[in-house]
Structure 1
Amino acid sequence: MTRQENIESALQAAFHPERLFVINESHLHAGHRPPEEEGPETHMRVRIVSAAFEGMGRVARHRAINDALNAEFKDGLHALAVEAAAPGEPTRW
């Protein structure tokens, strides 16, 4: 499985989202890390809507997502942009 698929699977299991998009943005960051640290899936964006986020602040949502993806960070995920919302909250996407 790719890192993107691993992230999707982990977030599905942890949050049972209504909507989930995992976007590989690694190509936008090419060249800013040493070549031996770069890879095809180092920078990802997560857009997620889940009832699990109801009553949680932005920082708590980000921490919960980072915790769910701990194994990916240990395996080389360098950066994660998070756009998390509870159902009914406005999103820009």
Structure 2
Amino acid sequence: MNIPDQIREKLAVLNPQLLDLRDDSAKHAGHAGAASGGGHYRLQIVSERFVGLTSVARHRLVYETLGEMMRREIHALAIEARTPGEAAS
């Protein structure tokens, strides 16, 4: 299973209504983080799990859910985490 699929699988526990993951690694070729093998990703995720959480808490929840992947397979992750209510407006 490739890394984006692994990321999607791990984030499935957040029951996302929307999960859009883009691999931007090619844009960072030659960058020190890319040399270590870690990819660069952009994530848009909408989940009820974010209701009542600050932006920082939402990001922490995503990082905790991805666990060890944040230390090896993922060098950089840009996150847009919204609640369903925020996504609808």
- Gaps spanning 5+ residues in structure 2: where? none
Aligned length: 88
TM-score, normalising length from structure 2? 0.88
Structure 1 stretch displaced more, 63-72 or 73-82:
73-82
Give a deviation string over 1:33-69, Cα, whole Å, max 9, x none: 1774146xx1111110000000111000000000111
Please give the root-mean-square deviation of Cα atoms over the aligned residues, in Å: 1.8
Where in structure 2 are the equivalents of 1:10-25 lying within 5 Å? Answer: 10-13=10-13, 15-25=14-24
Matched-pair contact (CA < 8 Å) for 2:3–2:73:
no
Poorly superposed stretches of 4+, deviation over 2 Å: none
Aligned sequence identity (%) = 38
Structure 2 residue 83 is the aligned partner of structure 1 residue 89: no
- Gaps spanning 5+ residues in structure 1: where? none
Aligned to 2:5: 5
Matched-pair contact (CA < 8 Å) for 1:17–1:51:
yes
TM-score, normalising length from structure 1? 0.85
Where in structure 2 are the equivalents of 1:1-93 lying within 5 Å? Answer: 1-13=1-13, 15-33=14-32, 36-38=35-37, 42-90=39-87
Which structure shows the bigger proportion of residues in helix conformation?
2
Cα distance in 1 between the residues matched to 2:52 and 2:79: 17
In the alignment, residue 7 of structure 2 is paired with which amino acid? I
